[in-house]
Amino acid sequence: MKKPRKNGKFISIKPKLLVKNHSEELAEFIGIMLGDGNINPTYWHKKKKKYMQQYVIRICGHKEDDKKYLINYVKPLVYRLFKTKFNIHYHKSKKALYLAIGHKNLYFTLLYWGLIPGNKKSNNVKIPDWIFSNKKYIRACIRGLIDTDGSVVITKRYKFNFIWLKSSIPNLRDSISKAMSMLNYKMDKWRGKTDTLQTCIGTKYTIKKYHKEISSNNPKHIKRFIID
């Protein structure tokens, strides 16, 4: 970030930290970003055909299924945390909705709290260590992650629905397993024939525990929690 001098020259100034303290809302936002979010210091300019520095923060979801969640919950959450408003974009050909902004202070704030820029798989990201200092933070982070990258699957055989989660990132899988273990949740082992492995919470007791203690802020998940 640059600020002009009186003589017309420019000097660099340090980015401003927008959030200075831990909180459950911050932990949930970190989970959202680990799920369907991304931060990047540059973006590809189609007309100029080169990378431009803009410090982009973006969250992606389905333009129909996730619309209420992203616009009515995530967007206000960002404003409460960072006093920053995301822009809403719809993909022209894909059924995708994006919340996005170019914001240097927010970018460096998210770096400070443990997010890594660029491709999450290549960088082998994980849940930041500070979140494990408090079970409230762990629950909030898991909620954000599953609300964006997980799914509540309707089952015909049982009178309750499973929670499924897939990941191709080894460190993220390990940190999710660690988080759920610390919260005393029983999960299936990560399985799969490719590098994208999946796990589930598939017992009635554990689903009830999840619904009571962690729950969801995504309407598409909330309506699928069927527990007799």
Angle between helices 135-149 and 170-182 (to 10 degrees): 130
- pLDDT for the residue 208: 87
CATH topology for the 18-222 domain: Endonuclease I-creI (3.10.28)
Q: Is the pLDDT of residue 190 over 60?
A: yes
pLDDT mean over 50-67 = 89
- Do 19 and 113 contact (CB within 8 A), yes or no? yes
- The string of DSSP codes covering 143-182 is HHHHHHHEEEE--SSSSS-EEEEEES-HHHHHHHHHHHHH
Domain positions in the chain? 18-222
> Rounded to whole angstroms, how far apart are CA atoms 164 and 187?
10
Rounded to whole angstroms, what are the CA distances from 74 to 26, 32, 87, 189, 203? 12, 9, 12, 30, 29
Kindly indicate the confidence band of residue 228, based on its pLDDT and cuts at 50, 70 and 90.
low
pTM for this prediction: 0.89
pLDDT in tens, 142-183: 999 999 999 888 776 666 688 999 999 999 999 999 999 999
